[in-house]
Amino acid sequence: MDRRDVLKICGAAAAAGITGAGLYGFLSSGTDADGAPSEEVDVTEARYYRSLPNRAVQCELCFRGCRIPEGRNGFCRNRQNTDGTLRNVVYGQPSAVNVEPTEKEPMHHFLPGTNMLCIGTASCNFRCRFCHNWHLSQRSFDQVRRRHSYTPEQMARYGKRAGVPAVSFTYNEPTVFYEYMYDVAVAARREGLRPIFHSNGSLSPEPLRDLLQHIDAVTIDLKAFSDEFYSDLCGARREPVLETLKIIKEEGVWLEVVNLVLPGHNDEPAEIKEMCRWIRTELDAETPLHFSRFSPSYKMTDLSPTPVRTLERCRDIAHDEGLLYVSIGNVPGHEANSSFCPDCGTRIITRHHFTVSDIKMENGACAECGRKIAGVWE
């Protein structure tokens, strides 16, 4: 049985209502999905990797494709090669669990005005020098003091008891806790909750497509539209992120895009224009785009906050390029916190930062002119 077989069995178990700790029992019960004898499988074992000589492994979860010798961890710190088996060391151990507004994701065209259960662990597969969540994302599992212990089923029941409609994988990059995210998403749907995630967009195509079968919406950070920005400020690459955005659209999952604007680094009008044109032509004009204000953080505390005028100029460029839903975030009280009908200009969702105070929509359409507004509204 190879790891793809394991994933198929995970899917069969999920369909049967068995995940996480239950999955362990399912897999160790003596038969697999086809009724053939099975071997025991630990849910902490990574689901996308291959074995190399001398008990080394190659992780195939994200664009890095780390080759990991025995006893070592991958670049993201969370994947450990123990005796030739790659394990996810944060499975079932989130470091942050909170109920937060859906708007905070940011996610503007998905159940506005609701809250969701937000889950994060430690570490990341990027090294962004400007990270706002660096206290989680740029630390290893061992360095983060707060750790909880929840099986996927417990987490889903927690969300149900909290009375929220959705569960979000956020705070740090969910790629680095993929197996846990996958199993919580399956368990959450079984409880009637909608799973979403916020990501840097670096999952490899196969695990991404597999995950999207259990996901209702995604927010992707498109950090800039230059390869230099990705390599110099994030220690990463832009191309896999563009591929991720296209795959999410192809799979028909609701998508919103965030661009954190750093003064002097990714705010050139020509670059903004190129990014917006790419979104319109490769995704579509109805994809919401959020321009978010940078505030000094992590290794870039010497950089000033983004001037509001710069964000407004970015929004104007996006509108000129034909994008229909463009907002400005991290500027509480700005008019562009709200959402507007692209046909008649009615303020269809009134927001102040993360708080929704009014919704002028009926059946997914503008209440004033009846124009259909793309999104997930019920």
Q: Which chain residues interact with ligand SF4 by CB under 6 A? A: 59, 61-62, 64-66, 74-76, 79, 125, 175-176
Nearer Cβ to ligand SF4 (157/237): 237
Burial 207-228 (b: 16+ CB within 10 A, else e): bbebbbebbbbbbbbbbbbbee
Min dist. Cβ of residue 72 to ligand SF4 (A): 10
CB closer to ligand SF4 out of 75 and 291:
75
Minimum distance, C-beta of residue 179 to ligand SF4, in the bound complex (Å): 11
- What tokens appear for 102 in the block? 């859906």
**Residue whose entry in the numeric block shows the structure tokens 């790659």:** 86
| Shortest Cβ 263–ligand SF4 spacing (Å) | 29
Q: Measured from the CB of residue 303, what is the shortest distance to ligand SF4 in angstroms?
A: 26
Quote the least distance from Cβ 59 to ligand SF4, whole Å.
Answer: 3
**Structural contact between residues 224 and 265, judged by C-beta atoms closer than 8 angstroms:** yes
237's tokens: 């690459």
Strand partners, 347: 340
What DSSP state is assigned to residue 122? S
**Does the bond joining 288 to the residue before it have cis omega, within 30 degrees of 0?**
no
Residue 45 makes CB contacts below 8 A (sequence gap 6+) with 3, 6, 85, 86, 87, 88, 179
State how beta strands 67-68 and 57-59 pair. Answer: antiparallel
142, two tokens: 């061992």
Using the minimum distance from each CB to ligand SF4, give the nearer residue, 62 or 324: 62
Q: Do residues 92 and 141 touch, judged by C-beta distance below 8 A?
A: no
Closer to ligand SF4 at the Cβ: 54 or 363? 54
Residue position matching structure tokens 């990714």: 266
| Cβ distance to ligand SF4 smaller for residue 6 or 13 | 6
**Nearest CB to ligand SF4, comparing residues 43 and 261:** 43
CB of 4 to ligand SF4, least distance (A): 16
Report the residue number, 121 or 175, with the smaller CB distance to ligand SF4. 175
Query: Which residues are CB-contacts of 266 (< 8 A; sequence separation ≥ 6)?
Result: 223, 224, 225, 226, 229, 259
Nearest residue to ligand SF4 by CB is: 74
Name the minimum Å distance from CB 173 to ligand SF4. 9
